[in-house]
Amino acid sequence: MEEVVFNTVSSPFVRRFLKRLQNTAVKNNLWKDKDRFIVAVSGGPDSLCLLDVFFLLSQKHGFTIEIAHVNYGLRGKDSDQDEKLVKDRAKAYGFPISILRPQKTSANNLEEKLRDIRYRFFEDLRMKKMFDHIAIAHNEDDQVETFFLRLFRGSGLSGLQAMHPKRDHIIRPLLQTNRKDILQYLGERGLSYRIDQSNSDTKFFRNRIRTELLPFLKKNYQPKIEKRIAATAELLAEDYRFIEAACKEKKQLKKNKDGSFSRSQLILLPLAELRYVLRDAIRPFLDGKNPDRKSTRLNSSHEWIS
């Protein structure tokens, strides 16, 4: 079993890292003392950094921690080695761990299916154990990659806005932390991690954004492209929250007896507001997912486009 190093918290960089993360937590009201967390841990650097941070903070704030790991078995022995590392780290910290080994799924929309599997597992575990939060290790680099991924797919304001540090029971404490700092944190804490080799496979669009597009933009256009895009996504999130609040403050549309809306009411709304109303109306029927672009695709005459 790997020995976890505990004697480097005195490192100035580690102290600054923890302070910055706690400031993010306070700003976004991510937690309070004695809260209970499911921490999603894959075995990669981001999630193992998050786990170590929670280990340190739990001693100060009295947190209760349980680790959740999903072994999809898609990478054979590598997947099993990921699981072993996470189990060893759980034992070193003294945290309980729950592991899901789902049946293999088809290759169609694989990334989305795997996401659905793990988030359903995390939420089922949270409800079963009556925990407060699910902690996910998304960071600033993920934020930037997601922005471009959605931009190229054709997304509106809702899709281009930044991921939220807190939404329902999911928290993302590392969103304002970049991967470079995460790797330095792990180095100064003496902690190893696993690398998923598929993260460099350019047949995946996100990987091409990470390994080809962003380095090109950084070299030829904007050396601080990640910071600029992350800031833009934050601004868009603020704008979208304003639109949401403005729409909710308006008089609610009257529904027909069968729960539908009158077309005569809807057609009077500005197109942007109508799209928001439609998104809000169909969201409860999408099993926790956000409506995609096709769900509310309208033309200037407020007619659905098939």
**Tens digits of pLDDT across the chain (306 residues):** 555 555 456 789 999 999 999 999 999 999 999 999 999 999 999 999 999 999 999 989 999 999 999 999 888 899 999 999 999 999 999 999 999 998 876 666 777 888 899 999 999 999 999 999 999 999 999 999 999 999 998 888 888 988 999 999 999 999 999 999 999 999 999 999 998 877 778 888 899 999 999 999 999 999 999 999 999 999 999 988 888 787 776 656 666 666 666 677 777 777 777 777 777 777 666 655 566 655 555 444 445 433
SS (H, E, C) the chain: CCCCCCCCCCCHHHHHHHHHHHHHHHHCCCCCCCCEEEEECCCCHHHHHHHHHHHHHHHHHCCEEEEEEECCCCCCHHHHHHHHHHHHHHHHHCCCEEEECCCCCCCCCHHHHHHHHHHHHHHHHHHHHCCCEEECCCCHHHHHHHHHHHHHHCCCHHHHCCCCCEECCEECCCCCCCHHHHHHHHHHHCCCCCCCHHHHCCCCHHHHHHHHHHHHHHHHCCCCHHHHHHHHHHHHHHHHHHHHHHHHHCCCCCECCCCCECHHHHCCCCHHHHHHHHHHHHHHHCCCCCCCHHHHCECCCCCECC
